[in-house]
Structure 1
Amino acid sequence: MKKLIHFLSMSLIFLLISCSQSATEEKESSDASLTVEPKELSDVEKNLVSKTDVGMIEYFLLNGKLKEGEDLEISIEVYRNGSLETELMKTYGQIDPNLKNELISFAVRTTGDEQQFLQLVAGHTSGVSSTYQPNEVSMSSLSRLVDGKVQLELNKPLYIAMWAGTSGNTMSTGGSEDGSLPEGLDEVEVAYLYKVTLIH
């Protein structure tokens, strides 16, 4: 009888240890996920932004933990008449693996004597990058491509914002709410897509 009680006690201890390890592994796995979500500005923050000369800007928050060997790649894809033309300002590396409300942003402003240039400004985890592109459009819009918190998947691009423009009188894009490549890119002359990718 004593042997049976000892056996059951040991079995119970091993079961509890196993469950504890499983819960720890599950927590580590969930902690390793990385999410992106839109950042809603307070009235004070909106007022501060209005005092700058940046007319169009979207903010996002990064939260989560990178696993060993993982990195975050941020860039801007350029589409003309629906076709991918090039990729600008690709940044990666030098990132803290533990991200808590890390702010990133995408802004577009017109510049030059006759507003003939667009300045694309990407705020990322290690600073701010910008580049200039010709402004050949008469109508444009900046929109988010994620609605709420979205989890990044390894090596799958997440498109979080898009500036689109046309020289015509009308413009329509399908948009996106889950970070997938938006439909309707062939209906605009040029589009700049702010992209985040979890890489290994």
Structure 2
Amino acid sequence: MIRVLLADDEAMIRAGVAAILSADPGIEVVAQAEDGRDAVEQVRRTRPDVALLDIRMPHLDGLEAGAEIRRLVPETAVIILTTFGEDAYIARALGDGASGFLLKSGDPRELMAAVRAVAGGAAFLSPKIAQRVIEQLPSDRLARTAAARERITALTDREREVLALVGSGLSNADIAGRLFVVEGTVKAYVSSILSRLDAKNRVQAAIIAYEAGLVTG
């Protein structure tokens, strides 16, 4: 069971996100907080696997709370869930050790996929955020595109298909449903893809998928 702390200063948002997460039998919301300071204290007390934090909260914002959680309880992974996708927020959150960054306007399936990914030691960015990160990467775009396309030549056709779905933010379960295979098969594909691409996690794989043109929009 993946144990989650949820922090947001709006009660209706907390209730909605909690309802989405509760639909997954493998995820349990063990604590909720309405401000960043309380979120840090509850993480210290309950030691959840994942802390899901809004950015704009009183007393301590989600970015500050996330950095403090990573310092005090490094085994708890941090996901930033927010309406705001400004580049400065993204860079700061990831720089402070957050494992995920999601927009509230995203597909609810992204939320569950992100929680599962970061709880397993991986990282997860919503597709829109991944694209923003790519746009901010240094160096020549054409050169990066050419390099990414060269890297994916090491993949089989099926692996490229799976990589495109990873880049679209789909979970292993969603990919299995799309491809009509069991989830274990998808896990094997993803593991092979990461190895062949020399990518550390799904975020890096997603970036390669975007740069190679496997994912658009």
Instruction: Calculate the TM-score normalised by the size of structure 1.
Output: 0.23
Structure having the larger proportion of residues in helix: 2
Structure having the larger proportion of residues in strand: 1
Instruction: Calculate the TM-score normalised by the size of structure 2.
Output: 0.22
Greater RCO, CA 8 A, separation 6+: 1
